[in-house]
Structure 1
Amino acid sequence: MPAQSLWCVAPGRYEVRTGILPELEADMLTVRALASCVSRGSERLVLRGDVPKSEFQQMRAPFQQGEFPFPVQYGYQSVGVVEAGPEALKGRRIFSLHPHQDVYRLPASAAVIVPDHIPPPRAAIAANMETALNAMWDAGAGPGDRIVIVGGGVVGLMLTALAAGLPGAEVTLVDVRPERAEIAVAFGADFALPAEIGDDADIVFHTSASAAGLQTALGAGGFEAKIVELSWYGASATTVALGGAFHSRRLRLIGSQVGTVSPERRPRWPHARRLAKALSLLDDARFDRLITHVIPFAQAPVRLPQLLNDGPDALAILLTYD
């Protein structure tokens, strides 16, 4: 069976390639894609060729083809309908960590059923929600905490929604784009520009992938606050000033990455459980506003590079399949 897939073939350049699917084995599914979401931060680094050699293996997507830097088929947020496989799964919509491809085969164990009431476009951002959920675990955030999120991208806005759901929590989204205020308010949080934020937060999440954003996050933390860093900078150097109040406030800088779960949850939260929970957390129509651009799969090589680099402001970018 032929299949079309999206490949990064050179810095800033995609192409659609046609290949043949492997034989369908007893424990595998044939899935016809409905939608896949471009994870803007990591996929921008891949497209630029900015994955450092030291992270070639750690950065691999579960069903990636090719090798870094190029050519490589990358991506990890796909929703499709099962066309062949175990009878109980035929016709069901599933989420998987598969790259952008119109039809594919994968082990049944790698598929998570999408609840019927969650539309495919929203389900396609489930891996981003898993990242936000794991960051909340890393932070140990709880009711009543004063929480600041620096960076209003997809993961930052998901964190805003999760944090605002904690009873009594005081949540503020910080971003350089004033237009993010509307979404923050819709999620139950306040909004501030970087120059307007205080220095008394209990927990600060940083998601902007910029040195300026990280400096803002450090400045927002109160005494012994946790600063949870979710950004990944690839091969880029990041300069941050650790003078001033960094030591006197005894700030704690924590790296959060979804490939490894918070130690407190690790024994009980295998990947399938985490993804299923992420999908259930998306049972909220407010998350639809995070999808700002919808592109037919065939147009991805032309339109994606601009959106991933210096083009129009974009949150979640969705690829759709006929």
Structure 2
Amino acid sequence: MTNSEMPHRATAYWTTAKEQGELRSEDLPAPEPGEAVVRALYSGISRGTEMVVHRGAVPPRVADEMRAPHQEGDFPGPVKFGYLSVGVVEEGPDEWKGQRVFCLSPHQDRYVVPVAALTRIPDGVPSQRAVLTGTVETAVNALWEAEPKLGDRVAVVGAGLVGGMVAALLRTFPLQRLQLVDIDPGRKKLADTIGVDFTSPEDALDDCDIVIHCSASQEGLERSLQLVGDDGDVIEMSWYADRKVTVPLGEDFHARRLSIRASQVGMVARSRRHRRTNADRLDLAVSLLADSVFDAFLTGQSAFEDLPDVVQGLSDGSLEALCHVIEYPQDSGRHPENPA
């Protein structure tokens, strides 16, 4: 077998069992027509969803619906999971070669995907920031669900990565009031950085037109129902996985005719589904990342080889992060921001 016929190798992160993960080497298939080989530059860890996978907490009833686009294996494991990858096209159609791209792909140093699965990264968006594309897409979808209007009063409950991202987008809307609500006073620093009013749950203003709930807590959902005005909507972005949540439906929910509406990024929001594709939504999301305010969400970086320890640290709380970035080894002479 000649060198050109030797199979390429790749290294990927696998969740092997509950709270266990490792890097595994595997053969990389040759690209078929219409496919590309992508060399990873960075990937981001989606702390909420990926920690659910790491803990083996994906409910069997929705295991198929919660599969990532390029996942391998099945829940609870072994499974190759992840969906915030940025890289450069090494092989593929001529118009794609050398392009920086975002892909909903697991943590892997090289991978083969259809070019239809790739989103070009605009020149004004740094590669590290581009790992947030999938999270911005989630936030965009939620705002399409919520449909905020001129002069609305809006509260975002939960100032983690997703809640903070929603608030960052909403700050550009012509609202009468926008508050980012969290029990952790340390989140005020994030709110100040992105230019949003921060408040504790007990001090949050009520009679909101829309409340977007992102705290993934029973208490946060209960407070959201108290903050939204009569006949108002609570947009529920939290994924509780296998946790049971009790909601006081006999209080505000029933008496004030409230609605709780789920927002999940797997499908384009109903109000846009007939006019926007998933690819359209991703193109919009990555274009919004030209705004440097989103750098506030990049709160740590580690080498690819350290990924198993990083995931465990995020899971047990010894490592704090909004979005922790994983950096992949680079070919000599190629800088991540000028990879071609």
TM-score, normalization by structure 1: 0.97
1:230 to 237, 243, 250: 237
Which residue does 2:322 correspond to in 1?
315
Find the residue that maps to 2:33 and give its secondary structure: coil
Match of residue 187, structure 1, among 194, 198, 203: 194
Match of 1:248 among 243, 255, 262: 255
Which residue number corresponds to residue 304 of structure 1? 311
| Corresponding residue of 1:107 | 114
Rg (Cα) greater in structure: 2
- Residues 206, 168 of structure 1: alpha-carbon distance in 2 compared, 3 angstrom cutoff: closer
Which runs of no fewer than 5 residues in structure 1 stay unpaired? none
What is the RMSD of the two structures over their aligned residues, measured on CA atoms? 1.1
> How much does 1:76 deviate?
0.7
CA drift of 1:188 comes to 2.8
Find the counterpart in structure 2 of residue 116 from structure 1.
123
In structure 2, list runs of 5 or more residues that go unmatched: 1-7, 330-340
Partner of 2:47: 40
Q: Please give the alpha-carbon distance, in whole angstroms, between the structure 2 residues aligned to 1:75 and 1:317.
A: 13
User: Quick one: which amino acid aligns to residue 206 of structure 2?
Assistant: D
Aligned counterpart for 1:269 among listed residues 252, 267, 276: 276
- Measure the CA separation in 2 of the matches of 1:309 and 1:170: 36
Q: Deviations over 1:155-209 (max 9, x none)?
A: 1111101111111341000011112112223323211111111321110001111
Which of 286, 291, 300 is equivalent to 2:293? 286
**Aligned equivalents of 1:199 and 1:312: distance in 2?**
34
User: Which piece of structure 1 moves more, 5-14 or 304-313?
Assistant: 304-313
Distance of aligned partners of 1:76 and 1:300 in 2 relative to their CA distance in 1, 3 Å threshold: same
3-state DSSP class of the match of 2:14?
strand
What amino acid is the match of 2:199? A
**C-alpha separation between the residues in 1 aligned to 2:67 and 2:201?**
34
The reply on whether 1:76 has 2:83 as its aligned counterpart is yes
Q: How many residues align?
A: 322
- 1:158 matched residue in structure 2: 165
Residue pair 2:225, 2:252 contacting (<8 A) in 1 also:
no
Return the offset for 1:311: 2.3
Partner Cα separation in structure 2 for residue 165 and residue 143 of structure 1: 11
Q: Distance in 2 between matches of 1:229 and 1:168?
A: 20
Deviations 1:143-163 (A, max 9, x none): 211000000111111110111
Distance in 2 between residues matched to 1:225 and 1:186, nearest whole Å: 29
Amino acid at match of 1:236: R
**Which digits, 9 at most, give the CA deviation of each residue in 1:232-263, with x for residues without a partner?**
01111111222222222211110000112222
Q: Is the 8 A contact 1:6 1:15 kept in 2?
A: yes
Measure, in 1, the Cα distance between the counterparts of 2:242 and 2:311: 21
Correspondence for 2:153 among 146, 153, 173: 146
Task: Report how far residue 25 of structure 1 moved.
Answer: 1.0
Deviations 1:203-223 (A, max 9, x none): 000111111111111111111
Matches within 5 A, 1:76-95: 76-95=83-102
Range 199-208 or range 239-248, more displaced: 239-248
- Equivalent position amino acid for 2:20 in 1: R
Deviates more, 1:243-252 or 1:169-178: 243-252
How far residue 288 of structure 1 moved from its aligned partner, in angstroms, is 0.6
Distance 2:102 2:310 in 1: 24
- TM-score normalised to structure 2 length: 0.92
Q: 1:100 to 1:85 in 2, by over 3 A?
A: same
Q: CA separation in 2, counterparts of 1:34 and 1:143? A: 40
Question: In the superposition, relative to structure 1, how do residues 191 and 29 fare at CA in structure 2: closer, same or farther (>3 Å)?
Answer: same
User: Could you tell which deviates more after superposition, 136-145 or 303-312?
Assistant: 303-312
| Deviations 1:252-290 (CA, angstroms, capped at 9, x unpaired) | 110000112222200111111100000011111111110
For residue 23 of structure 1, report the CA deviation from its aligned partner.
Answer: 1.7
CA contact (8 A) 1:163 1:169 kept: no
**Contact 2:38 2:111 survives alignment (8 Å):** yes
